[in-house]
Amino acid sequence: MGVFQIYVNLALTFKLFFVRDRTDYLKIIVFVVTILTTFSTPGIFHLTLILIAFAADSMNKKHINRLIKTATVLFFIMAIVVLINQQVLTLVESSINKLVTQGTSYQIRLASIIGNLKAWIEKPFFGHGIDNGIQRALDLHLRQFSMHNTSTTTSFLAIYGFPFVIVVTAPMLLLFRKIDSKTISKCLLLVGLFTSIESQRLIYDQFLYVLYFSYFMRQKTLRIDDGLDKVSGSRKEMSNV
């Protein structure tokens, strides 16, 4: 469920902040309930930051009332689900315990980051390569906790080096910088995204590269829209002459 929650959280982010379709409450509720029922700790944390960013971006009485109503509906839906299926209650308790006690999954994620960073320090500019980078992270720290590396950005550092990470992450930062929202909202969205990404190793996943090229696709779309606006404006001026 860890990777799945990233897709759904990003879909919710695009709907609320890029498409800015904020009145389709049914789809928004479906997204939120789907994320909650993954019981992924990073996913729920990411969702919380998205909702806080949305609230910060919509600070007027009308939107706040809508947000409260939506949250109330979600609460009752989750309460009904828990009452119907006691197994869901067990999963909820497990998620809360992971947040409070910082259980095994937290330790593995932290060990992945530390192991990757230790490997990166050895070869900071060009990395160790795929096989050697993964192996060095295991040998230097991760093996004490797990054989599974669960960090994306620090894996890139260990495997490819610092310049590659800059090339990959810069367009993502620029993509969110273009959002027509408050600075605090942009920062919260980025923190949520990178928290989710760091909870999984996505170095072989197409998702990251789609997100990478989304910035360039959006820039091209904006240029086309600007060009069409200029042409339309010129035609209006000519018709008025």
pLDDT at 187 over 80: yes
Domains of the chain: which residue ranges?
2-101+161-220
pLDDT at site 128: 92
The span from the CA of 108 to the CA of 196, in Å, is 15
How far is the CA of 80 from the CAs of 88, 110, 141, in angstroms? Answer: 11, 35, 44
**pLDDT interval class at 241 (50, 70, 90):** low
CA 45, CA 32: separation in Å to the nearest integer?
A: 12
Look at residue 112 and tell me whether its pLDDT is greater than 70: yes
What's the pLDDT tens digit per position in 7-31?
899 889 988 888 877 778 788 888 9
Residue 231's pLDDT is 44
Mean pLDDT in the chain?
A: 77
User: Above 70 in pLDDT, residue 83?
Assistant: no
Q: Percent of the chain having pLDDT more than 90?
A: 10
For residue 77, CA distances in Å to 29, 70, 85, 157, 238 come to 10, 11, 12, 42, 57
User: What integer pLDDT is reported at residue 204 of this predicted model?
Assistant: 76
* pTM across the whole model: 0.71
Q: Residue 177: is its pLDDT beyond 50?
A: yes
Quote the pLDDT of residue 76. Answer: 72
The answer to which of 38-47, 137-146, 166-175 has the lowest mean pLDDT is 166-175
What integer pLDDT is reported at residue 91 of this predicted model? Answer: 57
pLDDT at 71 over 50: yes
Which is higher by pLDDT, 124 or 174? 124
